[in-house]
Homo-oligomer: A and B are copies of this chain.
Amino acid sequence: MKRTNLRALFDPESIAIIGASPDDQKIGGRPLSYLQKYRYEGKIYPINPKYKEINDLKCFPDIKSVPEEIDLAIIAVPKSIVLETFKKCADRKVRSVVIFSAGFAEVDEEGKRLQEEISLIAEQNNVSVLGPNCLGMFNVKKSVYGTFSTIIEDEKPLLSNIGFVSQSGAFGSHVFTLARQHKIGFSYFVATGNECDVDVADCIQFLAEDPGTDVIACYIEGTKDGDKLIEALKLARKNKKPVIALKVGKTDVGMKAALSHTGSLVGSDDVFDTVFKQNGVYRAETIEEFLDVTYAASKLPFPKGNRTAVFTVSGGVGIMLADQLSANGLTLPETPEPVKEKLRDILPIAAVQNPIDTTAQISYMPTLLEDFMESVLSSGEYDSAVVFLGFAGLKLDSLNDRIETLVKMKDRFKDIPQIAVTINSETSRQIFSDAGLYVSDDPSRAVTVSKALLYFAGQQEEENEEVYLPNKDIFGLSTVLTEYGSKKILKQYGIPITEEKLARTAEEAVQYANEIGYPIVLKGMSPQILHKTEKGLVILNVKDNEEVREKFGILKTIIQQTNGAEFEGVLIQEMLKNDSVEMVVGSKKDPIFGQIVLVGLGGIYIEVLKDVSMRKAPVSVREAEKMIHELRASPILHSYRGKQPYDVEELSKLISQFSHFIVSQEEKLLEVDLNPVMVFTKGQGIKVADGLMTLEKQVIHS
């Protein structure tokens, strides 16, 4: 559901401050002070019955008495009167509201109820609410300061094309301050607080459509609405705006901390990770990475490929860069022979092989770097460049030569991202920034940035692949389906299963065994027994009628002697003999994002090595193939040890088909485990040999 009124919140033409104060140390004083100090051009209505005038502005006793339309009202009043104040705003048709006040869902049940009331009123009156318990937001270009944060009290924030939304005010403040130190600005800064209405997804969506924003950075702890987040991320991708996310709560320990911090459901981290990957989001692990990648994406073009030229004043750092770049998917193609000759002509002692070592001579030959870069990059053999300048950033006398070269090269090779690396001081950072250049403090951080740029370069919009599947009720009233029941359903959806029949009696079993052909497999079916093997309910390689009769009896007895187990029958199944690899294809229903499809090699690989690949369903056949390739054990499916490759194509089709199936049964399916899926050699297809479906607990109305 797309929000249409966020412009009033983020780009208001009039702002009322409820609880305004002339004291700029008070939370009702700060936004007013910022708006005036940084010259907001819209209308400002201070509201406080105690004053007639504040800072030369007419002050109103309440929101009702403001004569004109109000885009945004800032609520900076004690918690006890927030609800009442907000109601008045809604009555007054205020378009949007920021609530600073804390003491809501983050503290207790009473606060939660209050907050829910605010949400309800917001929805009914179509008011956008940011908060409560939030630091607020600012829009640098228009000097909108709906915040009481002190991070902007000393200096006006810098403007850039980066929109930043954070689910934590303190985290956001920290990143903002670090960015400021690195001369990095923002278009918008938003801290979403308790998200009673406007949430991180709304903000991403707004930024994705904002013409002043090219890059979106977000700090995320969780979300209540997975689909909305995905929709926002898709919009950003469609509008070619890279999204960089730092999400916390990766580990159990972190998740526990996140839970106690937000008080709300945070969702499974690996599913978030999957959703990010599927939607082209770059996930940063550290604050440094978060800011480095965000800034780089805002300043540098994306490379056309992964061929990187390294220029270095230190051979050692050159080797380190070669190591780290190549470990991150970039290549360092050899310097072309004619280029090498040119370089040698310029400086005989240089190491002309990529990584190219200019040596300390760079300090004595002001044109050396330019000559080298020009020769190498004009060869057309490189898509990006890393230029390691040692501690040039601290040597201001020679820094200007370097800057001049880098500016020239940036203009000359517009499509080639060029990352300068040097130790910086505040001064040198300012110089690089003034020159419009991206600079990194550390070679390894430049590698991370290179990797990220390559990642963004490879992002395309997802293909849309419409598959029609009937959304019918196929499950009846059960909550667990036996192998037989599960596979009968899969078969309806065109998924290949083993040839099999359910026998209720020994004689039926013999008849079916002969129809299928010996040897066969016998499996005892009971909806109450999920782990057949452990119960001794799977018998392989049954060879004749007599054995079938005998084993049928045994299986039936086992089930009948199991407490509470109903006997469904014995499954007579073909015995799969061909060369095959056992895979697992499955699904789980994530509480935030819904149906997730997963694949792994069976047994040890998925259970012990946790070698599993997942996606939010549905996936295309091509995406399914990517999933398979992501598995560490995937070489087993190809031509490992001179063996024949296995039928990855059919497996990919199965995964895609299955992913559409689970989406069509979104509400009902809790978990599916097709295990094993036998994948035969190429051209021989696949077969689902066993399957188990667990359904949502069904409520029967009678």
- Chain A residues engaging chain B, CB cutoff 8 angstroms: 107, 151, 166-168, 170-171, 173-174, 177-178, 181, 219, 221, 246, 248-254, 256-258, 260-261, 285-288, 313-320, 322-327, 331-332, 349, 351, 353, 355, 357, 359-360, 390-391, 394, 423, 425-426, 442-445, 534, 604, 607-609, 632-633, 635-636, 640-642
The contact of A322 among B251, B316, B445, by CB within 8 Å, is: B251
A343 → chain B, closest Cβ, in Å?
14
Contacts of A248 in B (CB 8 A): 316, 319-320, 323
Contacts of A171 in B (CB 8 A): 314-317
The contact of A261 among B174, B260, B287, B315, by CB within 8 Å, is: B315
Contacts of A318 in B (CB 8 A): 257, 261
Contacts of A250 in B (CB 8 A): 323, 327
CB <8 Å contact, B288 and A442: yes
CB <8 Å contact, B168 and A444: no
Copies in the complex: 2
Give the distance in Å from the alpha carbon of A137 to the alpha carbon of B390 in the complex. 19
Give the distance in Å from the alpha carbon of A673 to the alpha carbon of B339 in the complex. 46
Given A171-B314, A171-B316, A314-B171, residue A444 in contact with residue B390 (CB < 8 A)? no
| Contact sample, A vs B, 30 pairs, CB 8 Å cutoff | A107-B349, A166-B316, A168-B314, A168-B315, A170-B313, A170-B314, A170-B316, A171-B314, A171-B317, A177-B391, A177-B423, A246-B320, A251-B322, A251-B327, A253-B322, A253-B326, A253-B331, A254-B322, A257-B315, A257-B322, A261-B315, A261-B319, A285-B324, A286-B444, A286-B445, A287-B320, A287-B444, A288-B442, A288-B445, A609-B633
Most buried by B among A327, A349, A423: A423
Contacts of A394 in B (CB 8 A): 177, 181
Most buried by B among A285, A351, A608: A608
Give the distance in Å from the alpha carbon of A563 to the alpha carbon of B105 in the complex. 82
The 3 closest A-B pairs by CB, nearest first: A254-B323, A170-B314, A168-B316
Give the distance in Å from the alpha carbon of A614 to the alpha carbon of B41 in the complex. 68
Give the distance in Å from the alpha carbon of A288 to the alpha carbon of B444 in the complex. 8
Residue of B nearest to A219 (CB): B316
Residue of B nearest to A287 (CB): B442
Give the distance in Å from the alpha carbon of A258 to the alpha carbon of B357 in the complex. 12
CB <8 Å contact, B442 and A286: yes
CB <8 Å contact, A252 and B443: no
Contacts of A107 in B (CB 8 A): 349
Contacts of A355 in B (CB 8 A): 257
CB <8 Å contact, A444 and B317: no
CB <8 Å contact, A390 and B174: yes
A581 → chain B, closest Cβ, in Å?
10
Residue of B nearest to A269 (CB): B323
Contacts of A177 in B (CB 8 A): 390-391, 394, 423
Give the distance in Å from the alpha carbon of A319 to the alpha carbon of B357 in the complex. 42
Give the distance in Å from the alpha carbon of A357 to the alpha carbon of B106 in the complex. 14
The contact of A319 among B174, B254, B445, B608, by CB within 8 Å, is: B254
Contacts of A170 in B (CB 8 A): 313-317, 359-360, 390
Contacts of A390 in B (CB 8 A): 170, 173-174, 177
Contacts of A323 in B (CB 8 A): 248-251, 253-254, 257
Give the distance in Å from the alpha carbon of A381 to the alpha carbon of B286 in the complex. 28
A326 → chain B, closest Cβ, in Å?
4
Give the distance in Å from the alpha carbon of A355 to the alpha carbon of B256 in the complex. 10
CB <8 Å contact, B173 and A261: no
A270 → chain B, closest Cβ, in Å?
13
Give the distance in Å from the alpha carbon of A360 to the alpha carbon of B168 in the complex. 12
CB <8 Å contact, A604 and B640: yes
The contact of A178 among B219, B324, B391, by CB within 8 Å, is: B391
Residue of B nearest to A182 (CB): B423
Most buried by B among A151, A317, A635, A642: A317
Contacts of A425 in B (CB 8 A): 181, 426
Residue of B nearest to A353 (CB): B260
Residue of B nearest to A533 (CB): B641
A80 → chain B, closest Cβ, in Å?
16
Contacts of A219 in B (CB 8 A): 316
CB <8 Å contact, A221 and B174: no
A221 → chain B, closest Cβ, in Å?
7
Contacts of A327 in B (CB 8 A): 250-251
CB <8 Å contact, B178 and A444: no
